């Protein structure tokens, strides 16, 4: 048979309308949920309009979930911990969505064991939905799109939503605007990191779990716990109703996992009293407004014909010191505004 005789019948591309996608999401159809997340992550302008319509409809449903950020350095045991905690959550009759770091993304290159199947056991559970999220242009696995993905998972009715990030600072500050509780995972013996970048991350953590405290790590883990407890006492209070704690855990043996979940549950009870959680939800919506606005403005600006036409010339003038960076930026903004 010659190559010309081979007929490949391509399936026509199925492009469901907004109603179908939204109804699918609300009826727990994971394919529709995944499709919607792909749409919000897409850079194509025709996808953007549809994605916004879907998001508007999902936000109108006004569902609520426990939003939890899980952060830690590469290798600190995040995916193994999420599996162990996820199994416990499911065993209590709850459903769980995990917005995980995409091991194949450029941002996480080298920082994640990419060839390893992440959260394999949890992925096979019908009560769990695991989605690696694209974080293009953002460090640490979180981007403003993560917030939109949370909204979609919430409309799909998941009781708990976990967002995984790599502890690099930028991603935690961002994730703090979208989740209610942040759990920081630290390896035993990492107390010396408290002096540097981790201090900032500690400030936004609501609890710390020292991971892998099994085998011969117990001695060093106890020292780390004391160090972290001392460090937490020195930090400004994040929520007046909440005292942060440090837990010794092992995802392998299950040690400390129940205590961590109990702590998270206590946190939500404390936050619901006095309507702190509602206030936080409103703050999250406000920050979503401004991150979306910023993204939209950036996109509009850089695709504006006058900006596109003069960007390179202005860049050259700045490089040759004919123009200062401030005058250059001002001139680009002027040409953007003039033709609006």
Decide whether 75 or 274 has the Cβ nearer to ligand GDP.
75
Question: Burial letters for 253-291: b for 16+ Cβ neighbours within 10 Å, e otherwise?
Answer: eebbbeebbebbeebbebbeeeebbeeeeeebeebbeeb
Binding status of residue 250 toward ligand GDP by CB under 6 A: yes
Q: Please report, as residue ranges, which positions from 88 to 147 form the binding site for ligand GDP (by CB under 6 A).
A: 112-113
List Cβ neighbours of 281 (8 Å cut-off, separation of 6 or more). 64
* Least distance CB 76 / ligand GDP (angstroms): 4
Binding status of residue 310 toward ligand GDP by CB under 6 A: no
Binding status of residue 72 toward ligand GDP by CB under 6 A: yes
Integer-rounded Cα radius of gyration of the chain: 23
Decide whether 72 or 191 has the Cβ nearer to ligand GDP.
72
Bridge partners of residue 43, in order along the sequence? none
Residues constituting the chain: 340
The single residue among 214, 259, 266, 317 that binds ligand GDP, judged by CB under 6 A, is 214
The single residue among 94, 139, 197, 252 that binds ligand GDP, judged by CB under 6 A, is 252
The single residue among 71, 142, 146, 211 that binds ligand GDP, judged by CB under 6 A, is 211
Decide whether 112 or 332 has the Cβ nearer to ligand GDP.
112
Query: Quick count: other Cβ atoms within 10 Å of Cβ 56?
Result: 12
Angle at alpha carbon of residue 149, lines to 143 and 153, rounded to 5°? 150
CA quadruple 100, 121, 260, 151: dihedral positive or negative?
positive
Binding status of residue 167 toward ligand GDP by CB under 6 A: no
* Least distance CB 193 / ligand GDP (angstroms): 15
List of residues contacting ligand GDP (CB under 6 A)? 72, 74-80, 112-113, 211-212, 214-215, 250-252
């Amino acid at each position: 048979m010659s190559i010309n005789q081979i007929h490949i019948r391509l399936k026509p591309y199925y492009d469901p309308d907004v109603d179908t996608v939204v109804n699918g999401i609300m009826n727990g159809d994971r394919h529709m949920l995944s499709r919607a997340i792909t749409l919000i992550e897409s850079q194509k302008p025709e996808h953007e309009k549809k994605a916004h319509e879907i998001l508007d409809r999902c936000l109108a449903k006004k569902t609520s979930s426990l939003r939890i950020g899980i952060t830690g350095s590469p290798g600190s045991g995040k995916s193994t911990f999420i599996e162990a905690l996820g199994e416990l959550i499911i065993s209590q009759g709850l459903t769980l969505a995990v917005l995980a770091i995409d091991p194949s993304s450029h941002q996480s290159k080298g920082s994640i064991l990419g060839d390893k199947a992440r959260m394999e056991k949890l992925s096979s559970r019908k009560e769990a939905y695991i989605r690696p999220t694209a974080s293009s242009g953002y460090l640490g696995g979180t981007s403003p799109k993560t917030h939109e993905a949370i909204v979609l998972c919430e409309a799909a009715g998941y009781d708990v939503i976990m967002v995984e990030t790599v502890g690099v600072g930028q991603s935690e500050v961002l994730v703090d605007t979208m989740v209610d509780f942040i759990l920081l995972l630290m390896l035993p013996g990492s107390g010396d990191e408290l002096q540097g970048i981790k201090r900032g991350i500690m400030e936004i953590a609501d609890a710390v779990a020292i991971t892998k405290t099994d085998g011969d790590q117990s001695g060093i883990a106890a020292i780390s716990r004391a160090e972290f407890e001392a460090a937490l006492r020195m930090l400004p209070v994040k929520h007046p109703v909440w005292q942060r704690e440090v837990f010794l855990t092992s995802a392998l043996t299950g040690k400390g996992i129940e205590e961590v979940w109990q702590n998270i549950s206590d946190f939500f009870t404390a936050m619901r009293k006095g309507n702190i959680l509602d206030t936080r939800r409103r703050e999250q919506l406000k920050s979503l407004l401004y991150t979306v606005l910023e993204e939209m403005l950036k996109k509009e600006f850089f695709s504006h014909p006058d900006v596109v036409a003069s960007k390179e010339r202005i860049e050259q003038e700045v490089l040759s010191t004919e123009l200062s960076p401030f005058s250059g930026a001002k001139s680009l903004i002027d040409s953007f505004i003039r033709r609006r």
